[in-house]
Amino acid sequence: MVIHVTDITVRQLNVHFDKAHALKDVSMRIEEKKITAIIGPSGCGKSTFIRCINRMNDIIPSAKVTGDVLVDGTNIYDAKVDVTDVRKKIGMVFQKPNPFPKSIFENIAYAPRIHGTKRKEDLSLIVERSLRRAALWDEVKDRMNKSAYDLSGGQQQRLCIARTLAIEPEIILFDEPCSALDPIATAKIEDLLIDLKKDYTVVIVTHNMQQAARVADRTAFFYLGELIEYGSTRDLFEKPEKDLTEQYITGRMG
Amino acid sequence: MNRKLKQSIYFGLFRVSGWAVVAAIAVLIGYLLFYGIGAINWEFLTQAPRVGMSKGGIFPQLLGTIYLMALVLIISIPIGILSAVYLVEYQKNKFMKGVWRVVVHNLAGVPSVVYGLLGLGLFVLLLDMGASLIAAGLTLSILVLPIIIASTREALIAIPPSLREASIALGATKWQTVRHHILPYAMPGILTGVILSLSRAAGETAPIILVGAAYYMPGLPDSLFSAFQALPYHIYALATQTRVALTGQSLYGSALVLLMLVVGMNLVAIMLRNKYRKKYRW
């Protein structure tokens, strides 16, 4: 039996944007099939960090990344690694819902299609499965050909999650996925996150500490580009080891 | 002066300016219609001019102008769109992007007769194409490139970066992202540039006189290397080289046909643009 490990090991990760040192010597291990939250004040490097895990920083010309990110034991920054394979394995959901200005069906079918699925029946199956998994199917099944922009913000974000699920990733990165949503839509996304960790390794960046406390198994606190403290969510919130962490979670900073 | 009065004065000024534009166009079109509509009939559109251009039609000139537009469409539109895509989506060097933007803006400001000189020196003489359709087509293509590039660039940078990220994050290559998202979403803006360019190509007079448009020639161009006639030069020729008392109707008729050609293309562009806007909106 092949044991499939999809944990993430980050070693000595540094990111520079021109002269700004955005991420400093971050090393941490993200566990498989758990939800790991990244918290910290604005500008602490948490988004930069998560965007290193699927190499999204590659598209920013000024970004320079050094260090290792090992997924399944493979360094995704290795020269032999095809970046599109990395991103197929590691999906990402963004801060603001960003569906394509196309139909609901096309939004989901796009990724499987570019990865080689051509038959309409196969695509329809993937689309339905992904939408069901993202708890959106019942709301959209009768209007698959309508524009994704007719959906509400929360529905759009779940559509973006379904779109990511359609590439069958092993890890899903969420970059503040609820920051543009109302509390009800946020609750739905949080329920979904907890459901998704049965099958996927989930990393979520959030500036909402309650959200981290509600959904995450483990939490990492970043400050000024450094990883200050990392541990189980309960420990981090109830008995933080570092003063900085305590100041942040008690609202005296940030 | 009280505020309400001030407001009325300024509103009045805005209103007058707004209507002045409409009035100018109305007068222009009304004038051309009044004097030119009588000339336009099937014979006018399908026959060559006769009797010192006072009789017959404008078929060779109309055909020449359509040939030129077709050449510009084939040559400069792919080059213009692709170069804009390269420089917006692929070129990473900020300095090069800046240099290129300045170059394009300056090219757009070069007087058209200078392009004519370039075409004469480069295509007609150096490359030995002679005064020909192809030389004129190439010259006009260079002339309209900055228009296409600038409007394509505007359309590309107006697409939210979040849509590029969405596609890239799904494991799409850059080309897949450009092909399936960027280009389709930018299409309304690109089409605007294309139509503007074709209108320019149809209407430019100075450059084509230098590189191949004939004042008068018998017959039609039989290859890309023949001289040709075109509507704008025909209008110039009628207005300056003939007795307008005899050729006036043909003159206004030609101007009206040219205007309708350009207006017609703009209408097609607006329809296409609305179609794409409906399809992709964000």
Looking at residue A203, which CATH number applies to its domain? 3.40.50.300
With contact defined as beta carbons under 8 Å apart, do A253 and A241 qualify?
no
Q: Which helix (H) or strand (E) holds B56?
A: strand B55-56
Domain count of chain A? 1
**Beta-carbon separation of A91 and B163 below 8 A:** no
Looking up tokens 């510009």, which residue turns up?
A: B72
Could you tell me how many CB contacts below 8 A there are between chain A and chain B?
68
pLDDT of residue A216: 94
Residues β-bridged to residue B50: B55
> pLDDT digit string (tens) for B203-251?
888 888 888 777 777 777 787 777 778 888 888 888 887 777 777 778 8
Phi, psi of A91 (to 5 degrees): -80, 165
What is the widest separation between alpha-carbon atoms in chain A?
A: 57
Average pLDDT on B58-83 reads: 89
- Cα–Cα nearest to B61, from B268, B255, B207: B255
Amino acid, single-letter form, for residue A231: G
Is A111 an interface residue toward B (CB < 8 Å)?
Answer: yes
Is B97 an interface residue toward A (CB < 8 Å)?
Answer: no
Identify which has the larger pLDDT, B136 or B130.
Answer: B136
pLDDT of residue B249: 77
Is A60 an interface residue toward B (CB < 8 Å)?
Answer: no
Q: Which residues in chain A (194-253) have CB-CB distances under 8 A to chain B?
A: none
pLDDT of residue A5: 61
Q: Which residues of B touch A102 (CB under 8 A)?
A: 280
Q: Is residue A84 part of a domain?
A: yes
Q: Is residue A123 part of a domain?
A: no
- Gap from B281 CA to chain A (nearest CA, Å): 6
Measured distance CA(B63)–CA(B49) in Å, rounded: 13
**Beta-carbon separation of B176 and A114 below 8 A:** yes
Q: Is residue A126 part of a domain?
A: no
Q: Which helix (H) or strand (E) holds B55?
A: strand B55-56
Name the percent of chain B lying above pLDDT 90: 30
Q: Is residue A207 part of a domain?
A: yes
pLDDT of residue B275: 83
Q: Is residue A160 part of a domain?
A: no
| Among the partner residues B94, B163, B185, nearest to A98 by beta-carbon distance | B163
Predicted confidence band at B130 (pLDDT cuts at 50, 70, 90)? confident
Q: Which residues of A touch B166 (CB under 8 A)?
A: 94, 98-100, 160, 163
**Beta-carbon separation of B282 and A101 below 8 A:** yes
Measured distance CA(B135)–CA(B141) in Å, rounded: 10
With contact defined as beta carbons under 8 Å apart, do A169 and A180 qualify?
no
Q: With 0-12 CB in 10 A as exposed, 13-18 as middle and 19+ as buried, what is B245? A: exposed
ipTM for the whole complex: 0.89
Measured distance CA(B198)–CA(A209) in Å, rounded: 58
**Beta-carbon separation of B185 and A101 below 8 A:** yes
Q: With 0-12 CB in 10 A as exposed, 13-18 as middle and 19+ as buried, what is B133? A: buried
Residues β-bridged to residue A231: A219
Q: Three-state secondary structure along chain A?
A: CCCCCCCEEEEEEEEEECCEEEEEEEEEEECCCCEEEEECCCCCCHHHHHHHHCCHHHHCCCEEEEEEEEECCEECCCCCCCHHHHHHHEEEECCCCCCCCCEHHHHHHHHHHHCCCCCHHHHHHHHHHHHHHCCCHHHHCCCCCCEHHHCCHHHHHHHHHHHHHCCCCCEEEEECCCCCCCHHHHHHHHHHHHHHCCCCEEEEECCCHHHHHHHCCEEEEEECCEEEEEEEHHHHHHCCCCHHHHHHHCCCCC
Q: Is residue A146 part of a domain?
A: no
Q: Which of B170, B175, B275 to mutate against chain A (most A CBs within 10 Å)? A: B170
**Beta-carbon separation of A110 and B185 below 8 A:** no
Residues β-bridged to residue A69: A10
Is A191 an interface residue toward B (CB < 8 Å)?
Answer: no
Is A17 an interface residue toward B (CB < 8 Å)?
Answer: no
Q: 3-state DSSP call for residue B99? A: helix
pLDDT of residue A1: 45
Q: Which residues of B touch A57 (CB under 8 A)?
A: none
Q: Is residue A21 part of a domain?
A: yes
At what angle are helices B183-203 and B231-241 packed, to 10 degrees? 20
**Beta-carbon separation of A100 and B164 below 8 A:** no
pLDDT of residue B93: 83
**Which span out of A221-235, B46-60, B106-120 was modeled with the highest average pLDDT?**
A221-235
Q: 3-state DSSP call for residue B50? A: strand
Measured distance CA(A212)–CA(A236) in Å, rounded: 11
10-residue block means of pLDDT along chain A (254 residues)?
70 91 92 92 90 91 90 89 92 94 93 91 92 91 91 92 93 92 91 92 92 94 93 92 90 72
pLDDT of residue B280: 74
Is B185 an interface residue toward A (CB < 8 Å)?
Answer: yes
Predicted confidence band at B134 (pLDDT cuts at 50, 70, 90)? confident
**In terms of C-beta distances under 8 Å and separation of at least 24 residues, what long-range contacts does A122-129 make, across chains too?**
A126/A166, A127/A166, A129/A165
Q: Judging by DSSP bridges, how do beta strands A20-30 and A8-17 pair with one another?
A: antiparallel
Domain that holds residue A182: 8-96+170-249
Measured distance CA(A54)–CA(B93) in Å, rounded: 23
Tokens at B33, concatenated? 């219609």
CATH number for region B41-279: 1.10.3720.10
CA angle, residues A146, A152, A153, in degrees to nearest 5: 125
C-alpha distances in angstroms, B57 versus B36, B44, B52, B222, B247?
A: 13, 4, 11, 19, 11
Tokens at A35, concatenated? 């939800």
Q: Which residues of B touch A115 (CB under 8 A)?
A: 171
pLDDT of residue B131: 79
| Among the partner residues A88, A96, A110, nearest to B162 by beta-carbon distance | A96
| Among the partner residues B162, B185, B280, nearest to A98 by beta-carbon distance | B162
